[in-house]
Amino acid sequence: MDKEDKVIYEAVRDFKEKIYGPFPSDTLFLGENLSKYDCLITTYHDQAMIPFKLLSFGDGVNLTLGLPIIRTSPAHGVAYDIIRQKKLPFSSSMEEAIKLALRLP
């Protein structure tokens, strides 16, 4: 276990809620984990966003923690390519991002 893993492991262990991990990123987004946990947290952006977008591009919400502001975004980002190509818009991911932001303290 390297230094970073040790810090994460100790933080998870000491937290008084039902938190599990750390888990290897190559198996984190497999079906069983998606149905078993309410939330998956990663320490690196690309570690999460690639599988997340593959699984929930149309309705997923990205939440960034540790900022002085509430920051949510739709899984598809700004979707300029969709607008430029005049494809039919879909809004469920954006709607979910707004709903989540409004529920946060």
Tokens representing residue 57 in the block: 């591009």
Q: Are 42 and 48 in contact (CB under 8 A)?
A: yes
User: Cα angle at 73 between 11 and 89, to 5 degrees?
Assistant: 150
Q: DSSP for 45-95?
A: HHHHHHHHHHHHTTT-EEEE-SSSS-EEEETTTT-HHHHHTTPPP--HHHH
Sequence spans of domains, the chain: 1-56, 58-105
- pLDDT at position 102, please? 97
Distance (Å, whole) CA 99 – CA 104? 9
Q: Is the pLDDT of residue 96 over 80?
A: yes
Distance (Å, whole) CA 11 – CA 7? 6
pLDDT in tens, 32-69: 887 888 777 788 888 888 888 888 878 889 888 889 99
- pLDDT at position 103, please? 96
Among the listed residues 74, 36, 43, 35, the one whose alpha carbon sits nearest the alpha carbon of residue 56: 74
- pLDDT at position 92, please? 86
How many CB atoms lie under 10 A from the CB of residue 62?
20
Q: Is the pLDDT of residue 94 over 70?
A: yes
